[in-house]
Amino acid sequence: MRWKAPRTGRRRGLVAAATAAVGAVALALGTASAVTGVTAASASEHTAAPAALGGNWYGAAPYVMPFDNSPPDLGPVMSATGQKSFQLAFILAPNGGGCSPTWDGTHAVSSDTQAKSMIDGIRAAGGDVTVSAGGYGGTKLGQTCGDPSSTAAAYQQVISKYALKAIDFDLEEPEYENATAIHNEIGAAKILQQNNPGLYVSVTTAGTTGGEGTGWFGKQLLAEAKSQGFTPANYAIMPFDGGFNGSAAQISALEGFHSTLMNTFGWSSATAYAHEGVSLMNGRSDTGEYFRQADFQAVLNYATSHGLSRFTFWSVNRDRQCSPPDNNGQTSGTCSSVTQGAWDFTRFTAAFGGAPASPPPTDPPPGACTAPAWNATSVYTGGMEVTYSKHTYKAKWWTQGETPGTADVWSDEGPCT
Residues marked as catalytic: 172
Q: How many CB atoms lie within 10 A of CB 121?
A: 25
Where would I find the H helices in 169-292?
Answer: 179-195, 216-228, 247-265, 269-274
Residue 15, CA distances (Å) to 12, 260, 366, 404 in order: 9, 34, 52, 46
* R_g of the chain computed on alpha carbons: 22
Q: Which of 401, 383, 114 shows the shortest CA–CA distance to 393?
A: 383
* 319 touches 76 (CB < 8 A): no
Separation of alpha carbons 333 and 118, rounded Å: 19
Q: Which of 117, 116, 108, 97 shows the shortest CA–CA distance to 41?
A: 117
Q: Determine the 3-state secondary structure of 166 from DSSP.
A: strand
Separation of alpha carbons 114 and 126, rounded Å: 19
Q: How far apart are the first and last CA of the chain?
A: 43
